[in-house]
Structure formats: structure tokens, C-alpha cells
Amino acid sequence: MADLNVAVLGLDRLGVSIAQRLSAYMKKGGQHQFRLIGYDSREDFEKPARKQKVFDKVERHSYSAVESADLVIMNLPYEDLRAGYEMVAPSMRNGAVILDTAAIKQPSIEWASQFLSEENHWIGFTPVINAEYMFEHGLAAEQASDDYLLGSTIYLTPSLTSMREAIDLAVNFTVILGGKPHFLDPAEHDSLSTITEEIPQVLSIAAYAAAMRHNAWADAQRLTNPPFNVLTRYLLTHHPDALRDEWLSNRDALGRALDELLATLHDLRDRLAEGDEAAIEAFLIDASDDYQEWINKRHKGDWDEQATSRLQYDTSIAGTLFGGAISRRIFGGGKDGDK
């Protein structure tokens, strides 16, 4: 049986849902025990998370939250991430494993290499949420649920220096959360994330920027029903600094994705200008048919994967761990004061 201290840095819907899942696991008689420590500098996230009483303790400082942690969920907003690594590094214990939830991983690998000790072990950790929640856009802690990741894919993106035992721990932790672990190379992960995370962000903000610059915006802004509100939501849920930093950090991949998007939009514009009804209809039908196929697969989690891409994993956390700082810290043999 493992007894782990888990620090969750960033108490949004994802961070609190992870804590709720671990709490539910223990209440249902799970063989492992977790002491849950939370932290968030944002009052509108920290207070609701504290009220839920799912954490054993909610700290006021990030470095205090990680002092005793065996596992750290690095779930900070992107604009705070680099500073977060720098802040917690001196307080991290030897053998602690960091699971990083950032939308793009390569900058985090650099920051982890720059600030963390060789005795700390970084793994990229990207959950794909339960399909039951895929049309919900809220990030608030109040919307957290213990099944938020149930049955979902969780992508693990180890760096070249990630230790096998840290990877094994991440895999088994994923299983406890109810997810299905899969591996991706960090560069491949960031390229895919451009399509599914950053292009929606760009479209959202570009649509609002185009609207506010339109000469009829003073009147049109009163006509803002759900289609416009949903499309432009990123200006409500994401800080401009975070979007700026993320886009610039991934600018090459984002630039290529934007080229493909612009080519599609230019082609559609030409067909509209020509009044080409057949081409427009074909464009819509192709997209609609593919969307229906995708949405069904997304709900079923049926991706027709090759057997070689599937993971074999043990449902007992750290079931395949071997010696070293991680196992010493978690299972004994190390000094209580190790940091």
C-alpha cells in the first residue's frame, strides 16, 4: 500500500476534480492513501476549493504546498507556470514526481530542466475530459466532479530524462483517476495541441476583434446571443498574458496550423463570392458527416488503435517501481527530512 502526499497547484475545475477523485477512491476503500494539499493564488479559485473541504490543507504559498509532496500536479495558469517552477524548486523533496498539465509541454521541459533538481522527475500530463462534459466550458472549482476524467484518455509525455519509475507512477496514478494512459512525444503533443487548443483560441479572439472593428459593432453588440457568446468565451476564461505566452512558445506549429485554416477560409470565401451552391453544400456535408463520426467515437472512446500503441499497466500504484529516490521516498528507506 502506498501513502502519498499529493500537492495540487491550481484549483480550477481540473485540479479540484483530481482531488475529488482521489478522495472518492479512498472513501470507496481503495488500497492507497492520499493526503491532499491545494494551492491557488487566485482568490476566485482558492476560496471555492477551500469550501469544498476535499483537501486536507490549502496553503497560502506554492512552496509550502510542495514541501512534503511526493507527487505534484502542476496545474497553474500558463502565465504563472515559469514563475511557479522557479518558486517551488527549492522546496521540492528528493524523488518527487511532477505531473504538468500545461497545454504545451516543451516550454515546461525547459523550465523543469532549468529550475528543478536532478532528483525531481517531470512528466507531461494532459487529461482529455469525460465525454459527458465535453460541451461544458466552465473552469470554476464549483463545477468539479469526481468523474471528470472517468473513462478518458490521459496523455503522458515524458522527457528524454524521465526515469522509468516516475513514468510507472504516472501510469498507475492515471488509472486511479479513472483514465486510460497513452504516451506521446512532447513535440508531437504540442503539434496536436495546436489544432485542438490554440486554433480555437485564435478563432475565438479573432472573431471578437473583427466584430469590434466592424463599423456596425455599436449596434451589433446588442445582438449577442449564444453563438457569439460561446465562440468568444476565451476572452472570459483566459488571461491575455497566458494566450500571448502560449502562442509565442508554440509559434511555428501555430503558424502552420493558421496557414491551413486560412487556406480553408479563403476557399470558402471564393465559393461564396461565386455563388457556388454545389461546392458550399459539399463543404458542409463533408464536415457534417466527419463531425458525426468523430463525435460518436469521442463518446465511445473508440479510436481503432493499433495494438502497439496500447499500454499494458498494473492497477496497483507503483506496481512496477524499482529502487531509487522515488521509491525510497514513497515506500521507505529514505530520511524523513529529505528535500
Report angle CA 206, 185, 178 to the nearest 5 degrees.
Answer: 85
With 0-12 CB in 10 A as exposed, 13-18 as middle and 19+ as buried, what is 151?
middle
Cβ neighbours around 216 below 10 Å, total: 9
pLDDT of res. 63: 95
pLDDT tens digits, one per residue of 8-42: 999 999 999 999 999 999 999 988 999 999 999 99
Residues in contact with 136: Cβ distance below 8 Å, sequence separation at least 6, in sequence order = 143
Three-class DSSP category at 269: helix
Asked if the model's pLDDT at residue 329 lies above 70, the reply is no
Whether pLDDT at 283 is above 90: yes
- Tell me if 273 sits within 8 A of 266, measured CB to CB: no
Q: What is the mean pLDDT of the chain?
A: 89
SS3 content of the chain, % helix, strand, coil (to 5): 55, 10, 35
- The pLDDT score that the predictor gives to residue 332 is 47
Alpha helices in 57-120 (DSSP H): 62-66, 78-88, 106-115
Give CA–CA dist 272/194, Å, rounded.
Answer: 28
For the stretch 114-163, pLDDT in tens is: 999 999 999 999 999 999 999 888 889 999 999 999 998 999 999 988 89
Give the pLDDT of residue 334: 43
Element (H, E) at 280: helix 277-300
Homologous superfamily, domain 3-184+309-331: NAD(P)-binding Rossmann-like Domain (3.40.50.720)
Structural domain spans, the chain: 3-184+309-331, 189-300
Please give the pLDDT value at position 300: 87
Q: What is the CA radius of gyration of the chain?
A: 22
- pLDDT at residue 318 above 80? no
Q: Please list, in sequence order, all residues whose beta carbon lies within 8 angstroms of the beta carbon of residue 192, skipping any fewer than 6 positions away.
A: 184
Structure pTM? 0.88
Rounded to whole angstroms, the Cα distance separating 3 from 35 reads: 8
Question: What is the per-residue pLDDT across 239-263, written as a single tens digit (0 to 9) for each?
Answer: 999 999 999 999 999 999 999 999 9
Range of weakest confidence among 60-64, 87-91, 97-101, 330-334: 330-334
Phi, psi (5° rounding) for residue 169?
Answer: -60, -45
| Whether residue 326 has pLDDT greater than 70 | no
Which cell is 296 given? 460518436
Element (DSSP H or E) covering residue 228: helix 226-231
Under 8 Å CB-to-CB from 168, ≥6 apart: which residues? Answer: 318, 319, 320, 321
- pLDDT band, very low/low/confident/very high, at 301 (cuts 50, 70, 90): confident
User: Looking at the predicted structure, is the pLDDT value of residue 62 above 90?
Assistant: yes
Task: Write down the pLDDT at residue 212.
Answer: 96
Residue 51 reports pLDDT greater than 50: yes
Work out the pLDDT band at 321, boundaries 50, 70, 90: very low
Question: What gap in Å lies between CA 123 and CA 159, rounded to an integer?
Answer: 7
Give residue 91's region: left, alpha or beta (phi > 0; psi -120 to 50).
alpha
| pLDDT at 309 exceeding the cut of 70 | no
User: CB–CB of 87/63 below 8 Å?
Assistant: yes
pLDDT beyond 90 at 327: no
Q: Return all residues near 231 (Cβ < 8 A) that are at least 6 apart.
A: 203, 204, 207
CATH number of 189-300: 1.10.3660.10
Is the four-CA dihedral 240, 155, 293, 297 of positive or negative sign?
negative
- The three three-digit cell numbers of residue 123, written as one number: 512528466
Over the stretch 156-191, which tens digit does the pLDDT of each residue have? 999 988 899 999 999 999 999 999 999 999 999 999
